[in-house]
Amino acid sequence: MSQQPSPDQPLPTKREIRQAARRRRAELAAASDGSAAGSAIAEAVLRFLPERAEDQVRVAVYESLPDEPPTAPLIAALLAAGHEVIVPIVLDDFSLEWTYAAEGTIGDRGTVARLPKDTPPSGDGRRWLGPGALSTCDLVVTPGLTVDRRGTRLGQGGGCYDRALRHRDPGTPVITLLHEGEQRDTDLPREAHDSPVDGYVTTSGRVVRTAADSSPAHRAG
């Protein structure tokens, strides 16, 4: 995405950018080869794993919705390599709760159906790991509609990841998955709660590290 702002037009709001990004996502998803995209993402994210990847690492991912860059092959590849994968459930206050992803259960949960707090886990042996589980991860892979060159990420607007990322270890890299073409050349609006990401991976398998930024919002919280 590369809309150039014109000097006499007001800057678009997050809401306007989000609406345009959702429309664009629907078009890109319809034109995308999901199977190639899933493999490209899995390969690229495995390459992004921190150095000690020969050991078991813990990675936070999410279960993708139909228009999103597909995550099922990534989750399967991480599990096959012996890593731990946690995925989020969203609670009614838009905070995220985490549970282990297990092969065979991928995609069978409503990842955006908000659950009342204190809902017991359903399914064999599943347990909640607590919102703080993100602090134990070696890599966090987030959803997002677009990311700019400074690493500002625009999500679905619930603020779920903005809240959740406050729990991560400041040294843990955070990357967003995008369809190729969703990256943004002009700056997104950044608010104090927005936690910039370290990079993004596209459905073409491109790994892009976003510029380090020391603005006050960086690593906020």
Ligand X SMILES: Nc1nc2c(c(=O)[nH]1)N(C=O)[C@@H](CNc1ccc(C(=O)N[C@@H](CCC(=O)O)C(=O)O)cc1)CN2
Ligand Y SMILES: Nc1ncnc2c1ncn2[C@@H]1O[C@H](COP(=O)(O)OP(=O)(O)OP(=O)(O)O)[C@@H](O)[C@H]1O
Q: Which residues form the interface with ligand X (CB under 6 A)?
A: 62-65, 68, 88, 90, 96, 111-112, 114, 143, 155-156, 158, 160-161
State which of residues 78, 194, 200, 203 lies at the interface with ligand Y (CB under 6 A): 194
CB-nearer residue toward ligand Y: 77 or 198: 198
Span from 116-124, 159-167, 178-186, 202-210 in contact with ligand Y (CB under 6 A): 159-167
Q: Encoding tokens for residue 196? A: 């910039």
Burial 159-178 (b: 16+ CB within 10 A, else e): ebbbbbbebbeeebbbbbbb
17 annotated ligand-binding residue:
yes
161 annotated ligand-binding residue:
yes
Neighbours of 147 (CB within 10 A): 26
Q: What does 24 interact with, of ligand X, ligand Y, none (CB < 5 to 8 A by kind)?
A: none
CB-nearer residue toward ligand Y: 48 or 62: 62
Is 204 a binder of ligand Y (CB under 6 A)? no
State which of residues 28, 37, 74, 154 lies at the interface with ligand Y (CB under 6 A): 154
Q: Encoding tokens for residue 144? A: 């997002």
User: How many whole angstroms separate alpha carbon 151 and alpha carbon 219?
Assistant: 12
State which of residues 77, 160, 178, 201 lies at the interface with ligand Y (CB under 6 A): 160
159 annotated ligand-binding residue:
yes
191 annotated ligand-binding residue:
no
Q: What does 88 interact with, of ligand X, ligand Y, none (CB < 5 to 8 A by kind)?
A: ligand X
User: How many whole angstroms separate alpha carbon 157 and alpha carbon 200?
Assistant: 19
Report angle CA 108, 127, 64 to the nearest 5 degrees.
30
Q: What does 198 interact with, of ligand X, ligand Y, none (CB < 5 to 8 A by kind)?
A: none
Best CA proximity match to 92, nearest among 151, 148, 160: 160
84 annotated ligand-binding residue:
no
DSSP conformational letter for 200: E
Q: What does 163 interact with, of ligand Y, ligand X, none (CB < 5 to 8 A by kind)?
A: ligand Y
Least gap, CB of 104 to ligand X (angstroms)? 18
**Torsion angles phi and psi, residue 177, rounded to 5:** -95, 130
Best CA proximity match to 195, nearest among 152, 149, 154: 152
Sites of contact with ligand Y (CB under 6 A):
14, 154-163, 166, 191, 193-194
